Amino acid sequence: MIKIYHNNRCRKSREGVQTLKELGKEFKIIDYITNPLSENELKELIETLNIPPENLIRKNEAIWKSNYKGKKISDQALIQAMATHPKLIERPIITFKNKGVIGRPSERILSLFI
């Protein structure tokens, strides 16, 4: 099952949903803003994406700039920050089977199905 971790207020996230629709794919939307991900779910997602936790952080968010920017932060603390402040999570994230991508730009989504 294809999953898209989605924030409807984000244009790039809405583009990701549209890309999946245009590809004719069935998918499940995970609204991680309304239903925040647990630390364990974030760890699994980071493992699927095969990236360090820092690469999943939106560094232009006000929360990041005021609380975390310029500080030495452990991976576990980054995961805790994303669990506490879901707006910090990059979007959209698309997973399929054991692979995943951050769908920026939306063309990256296609790599899941090649």
Residue 95 near residue 47 (C-beta atoms within 8 A): no
- pLDDT by residue (tens digit) across 27-47? 999 999 999 999 999 999 999
User: 2-113: which CATH number, 3.40.1350.10, 3.30.565.60, 3.40.30.10, 1.10.3720.10?
Assistant: 3.40.30.10
Burial label for 38, CB within 10 Å (0-12, 13-18, 19+), is exposed
- pLDDT by residue (tens digit) across 71-109? 999 999 999 999 999 999 999 999 999 999 999 988 899
- The count of residues in the chain is 114
**What residues does each domain of the chain span?**
2-113
- Report the DSSP beta bridge partners of residue 101: 94
Distance CA 34, CA 44 (A): 19
Tell me which residue has tokens 């004719």.
Answer: 24
pLDDT at 18: 96
Residues acting as catalytic residues: 10
